[in-house]
Amino acid sequence: MLPTSLSAKGRSGTQTRPNSVLPQYLRRIIKWQQMDIEYTFWQMLHLCTSPKVVYQHTKYHKQTKNQWARDDPAFVVICSLLLSVSTMAYCAAYDHSAGHAVFVVISVLLFHFLVTGAILASCCWFFTNNYLREEAPNSHVVEQRVEWLYAFDVQCNSFFPIFVLLHVLHYFLSPLLVAHGFVPVLLSNLIFMAAASYYHYLNYLGYDVLPFLERTTFFLYPIGVVIVLSPILILSGFNPSRYVMNMYFSQSL
């Protein structure tokens, strides 16, 4: 049972625990045998079909291990491997240079997934801790804060359906999506709109499950912006698939 007051020992424990979790998390990345692969694939499946179930299990994790964040890096490792494979598939289909293909794989994995993910997680971590936390009713209640590693978990969870839509499904539809005409523009914008909307919805679920946060519906507001912008982009003839593909494989389109 969690303590309800901050003793000297309690204060030191809450300060040192976050510092010890991250190094342990990073050490487990190179220990494949300690990763729960089956549970990771279960999470990935349910993030696409019933994401509320995943965050219900997050509550159980908090009750058993006294932290919201995953202590198993399997999700990040497997997501990185899947992203590398899908990017290599794009390179095999659209790239003509082995050197450029290596550059594309590294840039997508490091920049699009890890670096951008860490930046977005840091922004959400800062925003939730400073603006969305409920005020403690009195000074004797333990102050709860969003763990940075949990914010990164939420970011990775939200990214995975984007990967399914914009890396896997998009790959098989790419010959149609990068073509000229109204139908490719319409389909491309619909896929990107669905991916962006679902990303923000999962962000909302990830922070809404935390009982010490309020006004988490803030994370749903960008969906309205996406819905408003999509018809404008469609009518203007903007094709996000061609735009993104031209960034990496302009000579093949």
Per-residue pLDDT tens for 160-208? Answer: 999 999 999 999 999 999 999 999 999 999 999 999 999 999 999 999 9
The amino acid that residue 105 corresponds to is V
* pLDDT of 219 over the 70 cut: yes
pLDDT at 7: 39
Quote helix, strand, coil % in the chain, to nearest 5. 80, 0, 20
Which residues are bridge partners to 142 per DSSP? Answer: none
The pLDDT value given to residue 142: 72
**N-terminal to C-terminal alpha carbon distance within the chain:** 60
Backbone φ, ψ for residue 79 (5° rounding): -60, -40
- Residue 11 pLDDT > 70, yes or no? no
On whether the CB atoms of residues 70 and 153 are closer than 8 A, the answer is yes
Is residue 141 very low, low, confident or very high in pLDDT (cuts 50, 70, 90)? Answer: low
**pLDDT at position 6, please?**
40
pLDDT, one tens digit per residue, over 113-139 is: 999 999 999 999 999 999 999 876 665
Percent of the chain with pLDDT over 70: 85
**CA–CA distances in Å: residue 233 to residues 34, 182, 214, 239:** 46, 11, 34, 8
* Cβ atoms < 10 Å from Cβ of 100: 14
Q: What is the pLDDT of residue 34?
A: 74
State the pLDDT confidence band at 225, using cuts at 50, 70 and 90.
very high
Asked whether residue 100 carries a pLDDT value surpassing 80, the answer given is yes
Report pLDDT for 10.
Answer: 40
Per DSSP, 60 falls in state H
Per-residue confidence (pLDDT) for residue 17, from 0 to 100: 46
The answer to whether the predicted template modeling score (pTM) of the entire model surpasses 0.75 is yes
Q: Quickly state the pLDDT bin for 66 (edges 50, 70, 90).
A: confident
Q: What is the pLDDT of residue 253?
A: 65
